Amino acid sequence: MPNGPSSSNGPGKLYNRIAVLRAERSLSRQDLADALDVNYQTIGFLERGDYNPSLALAFQIAAYFNLPIEAVFSPEPFRPLSEQVYGNGRNRADK
């Protein structure tokens, strides 16, 4: 089965924060799917990294969460949001 515009098994794997953003906003997959006009299962495939969205859908998702696209999708694994916002404990202790 295809994994989208680029394969998620090869170097084209795209990481995303959809699950975290959805949880933060108390949205179910169905809510998000309705808002984006996609199937419910597609959200699951996106969250698990089994499917890479098209550029149009990626921008649509970023716009829905009111975030820049690089905050939602990245070719590199994301650092935890808490670490990114507050820095890790060692950095804070140093300050």
Partner 1 sequence: MAATEQTNEGVIVLSDNPKLTRRKRRRMILACYSAAFLLATVAVYLLHFRHVSVFRLGGYFPLLLSFIIVLGGLRLGGPVRPFSRRIGAAAANQPLIQLRLGSRKHPPDETFLDERDIAIGDHVHCLAMSILRCATFLFVLALWASAVFHHPAWLPVVAGIGSFLLFVAAMSLPQGIILRAEPDPVPEPSAQIAGVPQ
Residues within the interface to partner 1 (CB under 8 A): 1-2, 4, 19, 22-24, 26-30, 33-34, 37-42, 44-45, 48, 51, 53-54, 56-57
CB of 7 to partner 1, least distance (A): 11
- Which is nearer to partner 1, 35 or 67 (by Cβ)? 35
CB of 87 to partner 1, least distance (A): 23
Alpha helices in the chain (DSSP H): 18-24, 29-36, 40-47, 55-64, 69-72, 81-86, 89-94
CB of 19 to partner 1, least distance (A): 7
- Which is nearer to partner 1, 27 or 62 (by Cβ)? 27
CA 68 – CA 72 distance, rounded (Å) = 7
Residue 61: alpha-carbon gap to chain centroid? 8
Quote the tokens at residue 17. Answer: 């924060």
- Which is nearer to partner 1, 30 or 84 (by Cβ)? 30
Quote the tokens at residue 60. Answer: 């649509």
